[in-house]
């Protein structure tokens, strides 16, 4: 799968570069401090411990970003069809929030991988606090080359992580390799769902290059999955329930943090501009490993 013509140029998707990105993000969060009752929680724009976009039933729904992110996590968990005795691989586990929620809701054992040592340390602390470190484990590993055996998982989740890899087929192939026959892959991805105006591309470029991401072509996924030995089950465009409101919430939190610090934001913020980019899409995909 190749990138769409977003005008963003190439980005470094090496394991080292992406790991440094999230280590730096963690350092920025620590500098801002943490407060569970503050929607600038840990400097992470109000995401809580999920670190991904939210889902709102309607634009008018009064729901904070952390709660909306949890809702999207639950939508992903439902599609994994995991339960007690299941083993799930979380590719790009962040600081462990989705993996811990998956275990709490289903009883499944979870292995989480991320390229950030700092995130692994934080995720392990969270698992210990939750009393789940016997069943939810985290390690540093590349989603394209994990250390696990073939056919060793019942489900794989890649929640807002595959966009860091230009060639999505590498991650899909790795997911297929570690899945048992009939096992499910559930992922989310950013894609170009419609025209992006020339005046909108600078904000898009800032977002993608600053986060080391690229956009996919949603229409490529069925063929990509079949090539990896997987059956396409569902691809759902949830952009209207997710992207605009997430960007608005992120912009609001960033502006509030800047105001409270008495100065300008500590990094260029394209979120307010991105809220108007209707062509920036968000998809939710489910696939199944072909039975042997």
Q: Which residues are catalytic?
A: 160
Instruction: Strands of 202-257 (E only): list them.
Output: 230-237
Buried b (16+ CB within 10 A) or exposed e, 177-200: bbbeeebbbbbbbbbbbeebeeeb
**Measuring CA to CA, how many Å separate 191 from each of 1, 48, 62, 194?**
11, 24, 26, 9
Classified as helix, coil or strand, 151 is: coil
The radius of gyration of the chain's CA atoms, rounded to the nearest angstrom, is: 18
Helices (H), 107-242: 117-130, 168-178, 201-210, 221-227
Non-local (6+) Cβ contacts of 4 within 8 A are 191, 192, 215, 216, 217
Q: Of 245, 235, 236, 247, give the one whose Cα is nearest residue 204.
A: 247
Distance CA 17, CA 128 (A): 28
């Amino acid at each position: 799968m190749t990138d769409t013509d977003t005008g963003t140029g190439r980005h470094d998707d090496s394991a080292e570069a992406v790991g440094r990105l999230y280590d730096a993000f963690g350092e920025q969060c620590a500098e801002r401090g943490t407060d569970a009752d503050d929607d600038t929680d840990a400097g992470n724009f109000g995401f809580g411990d999920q670190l991904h976009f939210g889902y709102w039933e309607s634009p008018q729904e009064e729901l904070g970003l952390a709660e909306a992110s949890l809702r999207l996590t639950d939508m992903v968990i439902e599609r994994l069809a995991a339960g007690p005795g299941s083993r799930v691989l979380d590719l790009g586990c962040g600081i462990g929030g989705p993996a811990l929620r998956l275990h709490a809701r289903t009883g499944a054992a979870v292995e989480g991988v991320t390229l950030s040592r700092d995130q692994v340390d934080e995720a392990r602390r969270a698992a210990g606090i939750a009393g789940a470190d016997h069943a939810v484990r985290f390690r540093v590993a590349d989603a394209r080359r994990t250390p696990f055996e073939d056919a060793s998982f019942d489900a794989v989740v890649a929640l807002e992580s595959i966009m860091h890899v230009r060639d999505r087929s590498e991650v899909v192939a790795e997911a297929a390799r570690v899945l048992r026959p009939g096992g499910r892959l559930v992922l989310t991805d950013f894609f170009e769902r419609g025209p992006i105006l020339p005046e909108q591309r600078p904000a898009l470029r800032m977002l993608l290059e600053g986060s080391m991401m690229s956009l996919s072509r949603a229409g490529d996924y069925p063929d990509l999955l079949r090539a990896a030995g997987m059956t396409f089950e569902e691809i759902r465009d949830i952009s209207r329930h997710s992207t605009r409101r997430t960007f608005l919430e992120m912009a609001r939190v960033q502006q509030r943090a800047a105001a409270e610090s008495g100065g300008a934001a500590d990094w260029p913020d394209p979120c307010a501009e991105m809220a108007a980019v209707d062509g920036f899409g968000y998809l939710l995909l489910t696939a199944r490993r072909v039975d042997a």
